[in-house]
Structure 1
Amino acid sequence: MTQQSICFPRALLALALVGLLSAAAKAQPSVTPTDCRQLVASGNPQYAPYLWRSASNEERLVGANVDLLAWLSKELGVAIESRYVGPWGRVQEEMRAGRIDLIAGAFFTQARTEYMDYFYPAFRETRSVVLVRDSSRLDFKRWVDLAPLQGVTVIGNSLGEEFDRYAREHLSISQVATLEQALQMLHRSRVDYLVYEDAPAAAYQARLNIDGLKPLLPAVASESLYLTLSHRSPCNTPELRGRIARAMYKLSRQPALMNGWIDKSIQLWKKQGN
């Protein structure tokens, strides 16, 4: 047997070992549970009583969903910072890029699943309605009743996939940057109706001292509000996803917690508006 014939199998063995080590390295998660020491969360900053900017520090968010995140932080043993990163459209861009880890409060759309994971069950069921002036004679029973009129909503606001699709194809609904702007447009008769969630809309009306508006039934949509995690978050591991899912299930078994956070946040919102 020659020296060359001996070296050749050794070379193959070395290559095989390198391949195995490389595959094993790729199989390891980029972040282990102990590496994830902090999560950055954000959400719609004009979403009282769920979320809004702190009066004392505008880089922070306050509201019922921040209380939820504080509870979740204790459950996970991981610090969660609630940070203002811009309006709702910007929040979604930051989530897509992985510059924030969590969104505290997002409706489900298929498009959003391309860049973030949803945690079930939802932590809140919401109701979106058509708001009109008290003088409106709109007899609203079906979506088609809105077709002859001009509506408004907030940029990036989803009202459920079915209604969003119908609105794009059949309705005339402009989009503005803030709920405050949308309410002012309706109040000043610049549009015929506003489509938004009833609780946040009522909270903003109270703070802005806008009266003369009313919600119409039936609701346009009833949607679930979810906690989500960015696909590009360095903390997005199977282990952490499992822990968050278990925590959200535990929360769903204690509905008094979320109800209490909302009640407390409504009072805080009113106080800050005075």
Structure 2
Amino acid sequence: MAQEACKHLLASGNPQYPPYLWRAPEDEGRLVGANAEMMQWLSKEIGIPIEVRYVGPWGRVQEEVRAGKVDLIAGAFFTVPRTEYMDYFHPPFRDTRSAVWTKDGSKLKYRKWGDLQGRQGVTVINNSFGEEFDRYARENLKITQVASLEQAIQILQKGRADYLVYEDSPGDAFLAKMAITDIKQLDGAVAKEPLYLTLSHKSACNTPELRGKLARAVYKLSRTTQMNDWIGQSIQLWRKQNVPGQ
């Protein structure tokens, strides 16, 4: 029965994640970017159509995957709680770097997580920066979570937070879109985390056969430099669509 049902897969992901994923300006129900390109390649490899759709903000995406309404996440960090509702495919298809961002003139010097103690941070709700940092932040840091990266950047710019924690490439992309030049990334990574393809436990398509196909495809992709090409193309597309003067 599961095999009969599996004629189509629905994928989603963090919609504020350029150059990996963002909403298409001409069709905001669709996600584009390097990870969307990867999903189209994956579709050909496994022989099943994959639609990459906007279903809401990142927190909503995770809820939809938990419920089995979305089959695949096109890019998620590993956390133990997420293994309760989705399978991870190894190896990861990309390594990412998360950074601390501050306004120009900030006296915050960042070398280690402890340097953030006693200061007010901001990030995006339901975002993970890896199991270790997430745990440290819960126990030791004051980090407000807001609905979107644009909102988090505005809070930092208005001085209502001392720092922002977010990934480097998406952060750069949104600052360029918002024409903000007085926020900078500090040296030293908060975390370097791999991005994985995941499949919902409750997906009607979650069968041993499909898991095997996905695992083989992800392994094949890891042996190439194709992801770098998709990222390069997606940076150019994002700038053309979003950055003033491009």
Pairing 1:1-274 to 2, within 5 Å after superposition: 30-32=1-3, 35-255=5-225, 257-273=226-242, 274=244
Per-residue deviation at 1:94?
0.2
Please say if residues 86 and 199 of structure 2, whose CA atoms lie closer than 8 Å, have aligned partners that are also in contact: yes
Name the aligned partner's letter for residue 31 of structure 1.
Answer: A
Per-residue deviation at 1:133?
1.2
Task: Give the strand-richer structure, 1 or 2.
Answer: 2
In the TM superposition, what whole-angstrom CA distance separates every residue of 1:144-195 from its partner, at most 9, and x where no partner exists?
Answer: 1111110000001001111111111110000000001111111121110000
Aligned partner of 1:9 in structure 2 is: none
CA distance in 2, matches of 1:143, 1:262: 29
CA distance in 2, matches of 1:119, 1:69: 14
CA distance in 2, matches of 1:252, 1:74: 16
* SS of equivalent to 2:187: strand
* SS of equivalent to 1:60: strand
CA distance in 2, matches of 1:84, 1:247: 24
Q: TM-score, structure 1 length as denominator?
A: 0.87
CA distance in 2, matches of 1:141, 1:63: 32
CA distance in 2, matches of 1:243, 1:51: 23
Please say if residues 5 and 204 of structure 2, whose CA atoms lie closer than 8 Å, have aligned partners that are also in contact: no
Tell me which stretches of 4 or more aligned residues in structure 1 moved more than 4 Å.
none
Name the aligned partner's letter for residue 254 of structure 1.
Answer: T
* Cα RMSD for the two superposed structures: 0.9
* SS of equivalent to 1:37: coil
CA distance in 2, matches of 1:31, 1:171: 45
Please say if residues 9 and 50 of structure 2, whose CA atoms lie closer than 8 Å, have aligned partners that are also in contact: yes
CA distance in 2, matches of 1:211, 1:217: 17
Per-residue deviation at 1:217?
2.2
Task: Give the helix-richer structure, 1 or 2.
Answer: 1
* SS of equivalent to 2:2: coil
* SS of equivalent to 1:190: coil
CA distance in 2, matches of 1:214, 1:35: 48
Name the aligned partner's letter for residue 123 of structure 1.
Answer: F
Q: TM-score, structure 2 length as denominator?
A: 0.97
Per-residue deviation at 1:85?
0.4
Per-residue deviation at 1:128?
0.4
Please say if residues 125 and 147 of structure 2, whose CA atoms lie closer than 8 Å, have aligned partners that are also in contact: yes
In the TM superposition, what whole-angstrom CA distance separates every residue of 1:198-218 from its partner, at most 9, and x where no partner exists?
Answer: 110000000100111111122
Gaps of 5+ in 2: none
Per-residue deviation at 1:35?
4.3
CA distance in 1, matches of 2:23, 2:218: 24
CA distance in 2, matches of 1:191, 1:139: 15
Name the aligned partner's letter for residue 76 of structure 2.
Answer: A
CA distance in 2, matches of 1:93, 1:240: 22
